[in-house]
Amino acid sequence: MFDVFAAALIEIATRPDLLGLSLTGVMVGIILGALPGVSSTMALAILLPLSYAMPTDAAMVFLIGVFSSSVFGGSISAILINIPGTPGAIVTQFDGYPMAKSGRAGEALSYALLASTVGGLLGLAILSIVAPLIASAALQFRSPEFAMAAIFGLTMLAYASPGSTFRGILVGCIGLIVGMVGFDKLTDVARFDFGTRVLQNGIDIVPLTVGIFGFAEVLINLSSTNQPITHVARINRIFPPLASLPKLIAPMMRGSLIGTFVGAIPAAGSAIAVALAYAQEQRLSKEPETFGKGAPAGIVAPEASNNACVGGALVPMMTLGVPGDTMTAVLMGALLLHGLRPGPLLFAENPQMVGTIFGSLFFAILLTLVFGFVAIAAIIQFLKMPRHILMVGIATLCIFGSFAVRNTMSDVYIMIAFGAVGFVMNKLKLPTAPLAFGLVLGPLLEENLRRSLIISRGSWSVFIDRPISLVLILLSMAALLYPLVGLYRKNRREQTGREI
């Protein structure tokens, strides 16, 4: 496999057409990923028809360039304007946007780009070396494990959300209910549609995300009479201090490992990975109170995890023929269109294509690093435009981004509605991210929970009998009880101090 990988690297590096396609894919991916409402999956779906006329190797080089770079592109809008370009960048805005508001947007983007490179390379290394081992571990997951993984992801996100854990759980539960809107997949019965056609197709993640993070920010800025319309201060530097980088190596590595493993679990996606990575760093940090206020570790850990998911998600696709997420599902479609079937036989019958995919990902990561720094300098100029034009532009992007999902005005109405919801939640000091993650993980939780109970004939013991599911339950309970333990210790210290 190493010889095949090396041969693919040499071929791509020595063929101007493949190298040019990789660069083009990276540039387009960063731009599309940075646009609010244009997810990585949508970017791949939009560009997939362009690969029809290409040779198979050229098509994969181009599409993987878009795939890899669009993941980083989502963090650009999350940091600059508090609108995640992709769902995986939701956690990045926790600390990225506060850092941008303090005039350190360039540093925040550089942290995200460096972490994306480290996470992508480590994910690729693990993909190349231990793909069969990770795939065999992911193969053990069944419906009970998927259901408990969704609960664990929501619990970790609630724990990591700014404010109290209770409020995070409350908002996450609301997100689960929002995910149930529309026709039931098992019974085909409409739920929570209030008799309107607008809600019968369900609520898509893109208009909800753009609404609560984008349009709500416009409303918040317009409602503030004493503050400028945009809170992003003047940028003093792009590159972060070199002295700060050694401290961030460990968070990058931990986030990369979490992202690679979670990405290898089919259908888990980056939502769980970034939540776990962020919560992990907040627990291990000596200054957890800085998270949510512009902590660099709060940027590099989820960004490394987010990009490591790229390599992880390719593991089940290439070894089992099962897409790791929606983006790899599009890549599977590209391979099938070109007469290749992902799975174990792909390694045996067409190892050259496997090497091409690995080599394409390697060049995409490096070109994203190079072009990303150039893009940062250009994107920063975006902040120098008049503030009223900036807000109008953001609102316009929110509208067009929501409409582009399914080409229906109902998504625009949903986006505006959730913009109002985000505005109210901001006033009530409620975290908004668990609402979006509840919508992402809700269908996964409901489908696998109900399937598990159907298979077990209504017995809840199915979640305890399986070891992996039991471990996830215990971890979720520990995360929920930990704040209570901390509160108990704090009260004990206060009582001891009063007695003294």
CA 3 to CA 21: how far, in whole Å? Answer: 23
DSSP-derived 3-state class of residue 150: helix
Domain extent at residue 378 = 2-499
pLDDT at 372 over 60: yes
Q: Are 65 and 20 in contact (CB under 8 A)?
A: no
pLDDT for 132 equals 58
Residue 441 exposed, middle or buried by CB count within 10 Å (0-12, 13-18, 19+) = buried
pLDDT for 468 equals 81
Which tens digit of pLDDT belongs to each residue from 358-370?
888 899 999 988 8
pLDDT for 442 equals 78
Q: Residue 446 corresponds to which tokens in the numbers above?
A: 């409901």
pLDDT for 499 equals 57
CA 491 to CA 497: how far, in whole Å? Answer: 10
DSSP-derived 3-state class of residue 183: strand
Bridge partners (DSSP) of residue 190 are: 183
412 vs 89, more confident: 412
**pTM exceeds 0.75, yes or no:** no
Which tens digit of pLDDT belongs to each residue from 328-349?
767 777 777 777 777 666 766 7
Q: Residue 342 corresponds to which tokens in the numbers above?
A: 């992902």
pLDDT for 322 equals 62
Q: Are 111 and 296 in contact (CB under 8 A)?
A: yes
Average pLDDT of the chain to the nearest whole number:
77
Give me the number of domains the chain comprises: 1
Q: How many residues does the chain have?
A: 500
